């Protein structure tokens, strides 16, 4: 089957590359000349484990191509996926759908023969209806269907998630497009991955509901961590104790500095705005957003307290900048808020992240970027672990103690045990543990 993907960002590139693994022929189209040039030269613009190998292999085989000629890509396709960005709109927090609607107009002008147009981007309820209206208005003679097919990819594990998904949600309004989507995902269906067909609006809401629920789960365990500290309990034991309940499950119960990334912040906000538009209260989501926003800066206060209540003129080594490991994504990363709050109090910041520093340079000022955790810690008054990269899980504490001004470790991801660190002569602070 011939597939075109409009948008070669995270979702579009991963989806397009993985579709070629199923035997489909894919063209990824994007208006960004530099991105397409890089991809055609074998350079991957994002960091995602395993992606470079798939792109290289299928580009060489001729089943995966990249172009800036969006209309040409659309004209050759049986199925066109819209995978453009839907960031939070400035001013009101609604999802910005301008890129989606622009893609719809381009598709309408270029499609030939029956075409299934699929919104892969995360979009509010009713977006598919508007995409259908735009295409119909732009090209009244077009033969097409509009389908919703939200992505559920975890950054850092996207390839595995695409090839072995928990479920594939497809929102359709006619049997003709359903048959096409069954063929698109036939290889996964044969592997018994659940293929869930619903109507289009339900599909759009499933994505937001899923992310909203997971964001609440993270926020819940973070609040439990605060309570654990107050009463002398251990949040990791609490998480394990409740996570063994199959109705709850163990995932997303790791206490930390709050959620960030490309999905949860904007999707929870868009979900809350959608509910407001339909005069429906979803106070749990609204409260989740407020708690998470305040928690990020609250983590800076923990660092300040660990440094004796004052960080003016002191050097803080920040280990990890991205919102999670195995990605270079800095969008709404807790580190951004923590570093800014520490700088507001006069702290000097030295930072190291295995993949995120180039992106961080566009978002943070007056930060010294280092080549290792040890370079960042040299002369530091405290170390703060913000992102749980594997490289931070076996630090050489005697070496760190020798190069630091004060042996203080603030572990915002609970990757160490108190006794292990304190036996090395460090003052240790973690989240939700006595």
DSSP-assigned letters across all residues of 45-64: SS--TTHHHHHHHHHHHTSE
DSSP-assigned letters across all residues of 79-105: EEEE----PBPTTT--B--HHHHHHHH
Picking from 180, 74, 171, the residue whose alpha carbon sits closest to that of residue 119 is: 171
Picking from 354, 361, 308, the residue whose alpha carbon sits closest to that of residue 339 is: 361
Q: What crossing angle do the helices spanning 200-231 and 127-138 adopt, rounded to 10°? A: 150
Taking the CB of residue 108, how many other CB atoms lie within 10 A of it?
21
348-352 and 315-319 strand pairing:
parallel
Alpha carbon 392 to chain centroid, angstroms:
21
Catalytic option among 228, 263, 307, 370: 263
DSSP-assigned letters across all residues of 138-166: H-TT--EEEEE----PPTTSHHHHHHS-S
Catalytic: 307?
Answer: no
Taking the CB of residue 200, how many other CB atoms lie within 10 A of it?
25
408-411 and 382-385 strand pairing:
parallel
| Catalytic (active-site) positions | 263
């Amino acid at each position: 089957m011939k597939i075109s993907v409009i948008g070669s960002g995270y979702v579009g590139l991963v989806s397009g590359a993985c579709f070629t693994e199923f035997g489909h022929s894919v063209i990824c189209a994007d208006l960004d000349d530099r991105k397409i040039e890089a991809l055609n030269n074998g350079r991957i613009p994002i960091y995602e484990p395993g992606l470079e190998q798939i792109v290289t292999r299928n580009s060489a085989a001729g089943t995966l191509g990249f172009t800036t000629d969006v209309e040409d890509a659309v004209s050759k396709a049986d199925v066109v996926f819209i995978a453009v960005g839907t960031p939070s709109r400035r001013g009101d927090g609604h999802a910005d759908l301008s890129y989606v609607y622009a893609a719809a107009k381009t598709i309408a002008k270029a499609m030939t023969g029956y075409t299934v147009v699929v919104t892969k981007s995360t979009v509010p309820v009713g977006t598919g209806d508007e995409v259908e209206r735009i295409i119909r208005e732009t090209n009244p003679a077009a033969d097409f269907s509009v389908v919703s097919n939200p992505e559920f990819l975890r950054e850092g594990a996207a390839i595995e998630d695409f090839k072995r998904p928990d479920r594939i949600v497809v929102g359709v309004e006619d049997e003709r497009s359903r048959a096409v989507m069954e063929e698109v995902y036939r290889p996964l269906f044969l592997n018994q991955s659940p293929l869930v067909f619903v109507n289009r609006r339900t599909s759009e809401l499933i994505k937001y509901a899923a992310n909203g629920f997971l964001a609440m789960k993270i926020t819940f365990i973070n609040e439990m961590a605060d309570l654990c500290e107050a009463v002398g309990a251990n949040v990791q034991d609490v998480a394990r104790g409740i996570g063994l309940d199959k109705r709850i499950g163990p995932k997303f119960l790791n206490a930390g500095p709050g959620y960030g990334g490309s999905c949860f912040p904007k999707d929870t906000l868009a979900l809350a705005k959608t509910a407001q538009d339909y005069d429906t209260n979803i106070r749990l989501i609204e409260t989740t957003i407020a708690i998470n926003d305040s928690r990020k800066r609250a983590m800076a206060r923990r660092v300040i307290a660990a440094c004796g209540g004052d960080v003016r003129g002191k050097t803080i080594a920040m280990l990890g900048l991205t919102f999670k490991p195995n990605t270079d994504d800095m969008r709404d990363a807790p580190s951004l808020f923590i570093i800014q709050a520490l700088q507001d109090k006069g702290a000097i910041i030295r930072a190291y992240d295995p993949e995120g520093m180039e992106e961080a340079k566009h978002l943070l000022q007056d930060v010294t970027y280092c080549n290792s955790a040890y370079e960042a810690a040299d002369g530091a008054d405290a170390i703060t672990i913000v992102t749980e990269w594997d490289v931070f899980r076996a630090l050489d504490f005697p070496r760190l103690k020798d190069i630091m001004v004060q042996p203080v470790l603030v572990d915002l991801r609970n990757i160490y045990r108190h006794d292990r660190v304190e036996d090395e002569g460090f003052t240790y602070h973690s989240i939700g543990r006595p």
